[in-house]
Amino acid sequence: MSQPLLQVKNLHTMFPTESGEVRAVNGINFSLERGKVLGIVGESGSGKSVTAYSILRILDNPGRITQGEILFEETDITKLPRNQMRQIRGSKISIIFQDPMTSLNPVYTVGNQLMEAIRLHTSRNRQQAQERALEMLELVGVNEPKKRLKQYPYQLSGGMRQRVMIAMALACEPDILIADEPTTALDVTIQAQILELMQELKNKLGMAIIMITHDLGVIAEMCDEIIVMYAGRVCERGTADEIFYNPRHEYTKGLLRSIPKMTTTKERLTPIGGSPVDLLNMPKGCAFAARCDRAMKICLTEQPEEIEINPDHRAACWVNVKEGALAQGGQNNG
Amino acid sequence: MLKYSVKRILLAIVTIFIIAAITFFAMNAIPGGPFAKEKAPEPRVQAVLEARYGLNKPVGEQFIMYLTNLLRGDFGVSLKTGREISQTISTSFSVSATLGAMAIVVALVFGLLLGSIAALMRGKWPDRTIIFFTILFVSVPSFILATLLLLIFSHGLGWFQVWSVTETNYTLPVIALALYPMSYITRLTKSSMLDVLGQDYIRTARAKGVREQLVIAKHALRNALIPVITYVGPLTAYILTGSLVVETVFGIGGLGTHFVSAINNRDYPLVMGTTIFLATLMVIMTLVSDLLYKAIDPKITFD
């Protein structure tokens, strides 16, 4: 079997600050196959975006990767020299950000910014780069692309800008597109359009996608695999069906309870109680234990390992271990 | 753009007229006159002199007379030296302008450079050193700086000659004049650069694979320049009026020196000429900095 396109192994990323080390990512593992879609879900501060920025090595100062490897086509890109890493960014791995309103440089035209990306990574001349930029704008469904090339970001709507961001990210035909909450800042109808566009482009261009979101419902349809993150760790992973219909981690269950359902209009949503874990003082045991209704003694003292629920599903929760043991004990007795 | 410029120029003419009127009547309201001195000429001689320059007429009439001459391009002659005002202004302004232009260039170049360095090396020793000196230069008045420069580099070390007719080395006066605006621009650039570097579009540029130098030079600097450009207008004002102190300390006969002595001497035509000249210059500089603004920030429209 061929190697996966991207493998993240035991990734640790932290931000040294005056009050201590903020441990944003604490030992993440995942792999991504060519042409597949991986969803990463979690609340704010769970380390989703930091994971993405770590892959591209565009962490804000003073963040840095302290441990682990990121293998892209079997090369550990955490150890690549800066200029080689730069050649990967935007050409092999691209990213689109959460807020299209602020992600484009306000003082340069759309065309200038698109062509910059194209000319950085290909040998196209000005004329060819402009043709490519035009082609990309058409591809992402921007109307009047010729006119848009000469416009400044402030002259475009939020949805249009996100389309421009996508065009820019895909202009050099990357192998991986990282979408960091690409629809969070957009209104609902535009959200659906952008997701549809990404799905369509994936089918057309065949890149793999890492889809980062805090909204499980948004990405369920398009993901081949979903990872649920909490406090910089993976608490559950599996196919969308498994995560949705057979959640085995208390945090995932909480997340699912907080999604509005079409059927129960009158019921109030159930939020997850408590507040997110303090990344400066990570607990010894399971990071979610303090907010978990079913926490046991062992949850406070020992970190749960990921255990296999079935071939499509793994979860890191002591409850599963206990129930597994009980079930097994039951079988033994009977 | 053109329509806007025309509108601004028409407004400028009104502004200059108002400034001229205020100056004219204010000057006349101050007691004393050009010929009222300790060794004043005989009353008879004084009356003749006043009649010759039209000073015996009502102030309003004098003002209208001055304006009609002005429209013909005649600034009049100095009551003190008898020389053409336009000539006095053009010779002394060329000195002031050279000095000022050099100081502005020095202030902008070093201010932007040092400000960027301070922002990029935030919290490290270059940042701390730069900020220490900018605080120093902003706080210490220019006449003290100018005197210290003279004392150390001319008198002490003997690197530069004191300004004279034959020795016209601009180095020390330019430094004395540039230190304050340079420090101000440094601090302005640092804070706006820090602000810009934290923006999402900088991360976008990095994520595209743009090399770090270009991220700074292309994506950050142009945005960081916007608040600095706003300061260019007032900076010109500072350089033009502030140069007076520096010109005096270094003994350079620039426009500032002439302006102050004209006021002391009640040399009405020279005061008027200099005021109108400086006002026009100011209005032009403000217009230029507004147009520059538009060139750098596409969001600004004039319609």
- DSSP assignment of A98-125, as one string? S-HHHHS-TTS-HHHHHHHHHHHHS---
Which of B198, B207, B297 faces A58 most closely, judged by CB atoms?
Answer: B207
The three-class DSSP label of residue A57 is coil
Q: How far is A128 from chain B (nearest CA, A)?
A: 19
Instruction: Identify the three-state secondary structure at position A226.
Output: strand
pTM of the model: 0.79
A106 reaches B (C-beta below 8 A): yes
The CA distances from residue A25 to A21, A74, B168, in Å, are 11, 22, 65
Residue B273 and residue B267: Cα distance in Å, rounded? 10
Q: Which residues of B214-231 are buried (b: 16+ CB within 10 A; e: fewer)?
A: ebbebbbbbbbbbebbeb
Which positions of chain A have pLDDT values less than 50?
A: 330-334
Model pLDDT, residue A330: 47
Give the mean model confidence (pLDDT) for residues B46-53: 76
DSSP A89: B
Q: Please tell me which of the candidates B198, B204, B209 has its beta carbon nearest to residue A86.
A: B209
The lowest-confidence range among A281-290, A304-313, B220-229, B253-262 is: B253-262
Q: Are A140 and A166 in contact (CB under 8 A)?
A: yes
| Number of other residues whose CB lies within 10 A of the CB of residue A300 | 14
Task: Say if strands A6-17 and A93-96 run parallel, antiparallel, or are unpaired.
Answer: unpaired
How far the first Cα of chain B sits from its last, in Å, is 8
pLDDT of residue B191: 94
Could you tell me which of B98, B99, B88 has the C-alpha nearest to residue B271?
B88
B241 and B277 Cβ atoms separated by less than 8 Å: no
Contact B248, B63 (CB under 8 A): no
pLDDT at residue A333, as a whole number: 44
Residue from the list B200, B207, B297 with its beta carbon closest to the beta carbon of A56: B207
Residue A321 is predicted with a pLDDT of 81
pLDDT tens sequence across A239-277: 988 998 889 898 898 888 877 776 666 667 778 888 888
Closest CA of chain A from B282, distance in Å = 28
Q: How much of chain B, in percent, has pLDDT values that exceed 70?
A: 93
